[in-house]
Amino acid sequence: MNKRNALRLMAAGAGWVGVGATLGLGLSACSETRQSFNAVDITGADYAKDFSLKDADGKVRTMADFKGKLVVLFFGYAQCPDVCPTTMTEMAQVKQQLGKDADKLQVLFVTVDPARDTAEVLKAYMGAFDPSFVALIPTADELVAVAKDYKVYYKKVDGKTPTSYSMDHSAASYVYDTQGRLRLYARYGAGVAPMVSDLKTLLAS
């Protein structure tokens, strides 16, 4: 190989190294900008985008009402013995730990037991955790539709009397960013700290 050809090969090699380095930096930048969450990232999901349900004051609410706030939406019922009160207690703690950003969080509670969860019952129930939490009360038909849209499972389990039944239901929460976009699926029992971390990440984005 003559000196001229050797120089050409060296120049070509340097060029490919430069391209590789550029691509590497590009890939690195992409990975750095991708957000990391504790909950399941479902950004871009084509379900659970919105709702139209009455709150405990009889006002029809939609996601648009809460634009500018992070929204955590949970399906449950007031007579739930464990999952629901645990989740609401944790969300009250999450709000406290957000500190100065506490007012940027809105917790929504959709009852899967509209027959027993009257407006009065749910006002008292929400008040026991945080007065800012909003309860949504679907009719029986609305519940069928919203549960299907949110891929939520619920089923009545008969008790010893007609009114002592319980409700089996999904136990996860849906998290929306301040633009009303569905972002996260938070499984039950994940804990307060992971939720606080995820919400802070969304607020910073």
Residue with tokens 């003559």: 2
Token reading at 187: 């499984």
CA dist 21 → 8, 17, 39, 42 (Å): 20, 6, 33, 32
Is residue 143 part of an annotated ligand binding site?
Answer: no
Residue with tokens 């995820």: 198
Q: Are 180 and 92 in contact (CB under 8 A)?
A: no
Q: Are 170 and 153 in contact (CB under 8 A)?
A: yes
Is residue 30 part of an annotated ligand binding site?
Answer: no
Q: What are phi and psi of 154, to 5 degrees?
A: -150, 145
Q: How many Å apart are CA 131 and CA 119, to the nearest integer?
A: 14
Show binding-site residues: 80, 84, 169
Show binding-site residues for Cu cation: 80, 84, 169
